[in-house]
Amino acid sequence: MKTDGFVEKATRDAIAGNSSGSFDLSGELPLKRQPFMYSLTKQVVVDKKRFKEQHLVAAYSEDPESDAYKILRTQVQQRAKSQGWNTIMVTSPRPRSGKTVSAVNLALSMAQEFHQTVMLVDCDLAKQGIHTLLGYESNRGIADHLLENIPLSDLIVCPGISKLTVISGGKTIGGSTELLGSAKMGQLVAEMKNRYQNRYIIFDVPSLLEGADAIAFLPYVDAVLMVVESGKTSMTDCTTAVQLVPQEKLLGCVLNRHAAISR
Ligand SMILES: Nc1ncnc2c1ncn2[C@@H]1O[C@H](COP(=O)(O)OP(=O)(O)O)[C@@H](O)[C@H]1O
Ligand SMILES: [Mg+2]
């Protein structure tokens, strides 16, 4: 491997956790005597003007609505730090409760903090929607790494938001339960956890009570954040979903779309 200035700079950036440098996490390299491969993270242009209409309020630090996500971020971080957690999956009992909106807002809120880097990974393989919400085109994601060994360095993008990197994708993948529950997925999450110790890695995962994807993926993450929709999610679904999560992994519940914030 050439060690020219570009590689050295990328190496320094990667070690410093800067978003312009990234590890190649293809799986083979770390254990061999080969040097790591680095590359510049691909930049994508997001449509920040659409953030408000997409309910990405955490992007606006001064907006009173972003306070809810600052509270969530603080609660998540306090618990995560005390437990040594940095891999967090966001799920819900049923679809359309706001998992993706909550996961992206949490990541945006975390990335606003000094020194806090975040990676957002779309693991809802039947409905990968993070890139749509952020407003950029994407047709490759984590499944391409799992199925075709595409290096993660080719999949990680920087959406022009300081300290945030994203792996999303556009294709609908069959056999998602087997992929999310595969040993390769487990190794990948473990490798991300260890490589990016100071970075939160947030996984947007399908619902717990529809299909088995979330249950299959659950053992690989440190913690689970459960999104429930105010006035919609039934108590029965909420209880059933919570019971599927080992108690020690349950970070807490997010009450999404709750309108009772009085000012
Ligand atoms: N807090 C919120 N306020 C308003 N609309 C929301 C909120 N959270 C989610 N939505 C809307 O609800 C729908 C489902 O949200 P989404 O995050 O895609 O759900 P999920 O990922 O759980 O399927 C989307 O149209 C989204 O814009
Ligand atoms: Mg979603």
The pLDDT assigned to 25 comes to 36
Which residue ranges make up each domain of the chain? 41-256
Beta bridge partners of 158: 43
Q: Hey, how many other C-beta atoms are within 10 angstroms of the C-beta on 132? A: 16
With CA atoms as reference, report the closest residue to 130 among 168, 163, 93.
Answer: 168
Task: Check pocket membership of 141 for ligand 1, CB cut-off 6 A.
Answer: no
User: What would the mean pLDDT of 154-177 be, rounded to a whole number?
Assistant: 92
Q: Which residue has the higher pLDDT, 109 or 16?
A: 109
Q: Over the chain, what is the mean pLDDT? A: 85
Q: For position 260, what pLDDT does the model report?
A: 57
Determine the pLDDT at residue 39.
52
Whether residue 92 has its Cβ less than 6 Å from ligand 1: yes
Q: Check if 205 has its Cβ closer than 6 Å to any atom of ligand 1.
A: no
Ligand 2 centroid vs 160 CA: distance in angstroms? 22
What CA–CA distance (Å, rounded) separates 55 from 101?
7
In angstroms, what is the span from residue 163 Cα to ligand 2's centroid?
22
pLDDT at 239 over 70: yes
Bridge-partner residues for 256, per DSSP?
Answer: 229
| CA 147 / ligand 1 centre spacing (Å) | 29
Tokens of 136: 């950029």
DSSP string, 235-263: HHHHHHHHHHS-GGGEEEEEEET------
pLDDT of residue 169: 85
Q: Angle 54-94-72 (CA atoms, 0-180°, nearest 5)?
A: 55
How is residue 178 written in tokens? Answer: 């087997």
Nearest ligand to the C-alpha atom of residue 58: 1
Mean pLDDT for 161-187 is 93
Nearest residue by C-alpha to atom 14 in ligand 1: 96
Residue recorded with tokens 């449509």: 47
* 34-43, 168-177, 178-187, 254-263 — most confident range: 178-187
pLDDT at residue 155, rounded to an integer: 94
- Ligand 1 centre distance from Cα of residue 97 (Å): 6
Atom of ligand 1 at shortest distance to CA of 94?
22
Model confidence pLDDT, tens digit, residues 135-152: 999 999 999 999 999 999
Give pLDDT tens digits for 66-83. 999 999 999 999 999 999
CA of 166 to the centre of ligand 2 (A): 15
Comparing 9 with 215, the larger pLDDT belongs to 215
Q: What is residue 35's DSSP assignment?
A: P
Question: How would you classify the pairing of strands 164-167 and 117-122?
Answer: parallel
pLDDT band for position 21 (cuts 50, 70, 90): very low
Q: Flag whether pLDDT at 259 surpasses 90.
A: no
For CA atoms 18, 20, 24, 29, give the dihedral sign. negative
| Residue 1: predicted pLDDT | 31
100 lines ligand 1 (CB under 6 A): yes
Pocket test for ligand 1, best of 50, 53, 55, 226 (most atoms within 8 A of CB): 55
Q: pLDDT (tens digit, 9 = 90+) per residue, 182-233? A: 999 999 999 999 999 999 999 999 999 999 999 999 999 999 999 999 999 9
Tell me what pLDDT residue 170 has. Answer: 73
Question: How far is it, in rounded angstroms, from Cα 173 to Cα 255?
Answer: 29
What's the pLDDT score for residue 93?
98
| Residue whose C-alpha is closest to residue 157's, from 188, 123, 122, 200 | 122
> Predicted confidence band at 180 (pLDDT cuts at 50, 70, 90)?
very high
Q: Write the pLDDT tens digit of every residue in 24-63.
A: 333 232 333 333 334 578 999 998 889 999 999 999 988 8
With 0.75 as the threshold, say if the pTM is over it.
yes
Q: Residues with Cβ < 8 Å from 240, sequence gap 6 or more? A: 93, 209
Domain with residues 41-256, CATH architecture:
3-Layer(aba) Sandwich (3.40)
DSSP code of residue 150? -
Contacts of 2 (CB under 8 A, 6+ apart): none
112 pLDDT band, cuts 50/70/90, is: very high
Which atom of ligand 1 is closest in space to residue 257's alpha carbon? 1
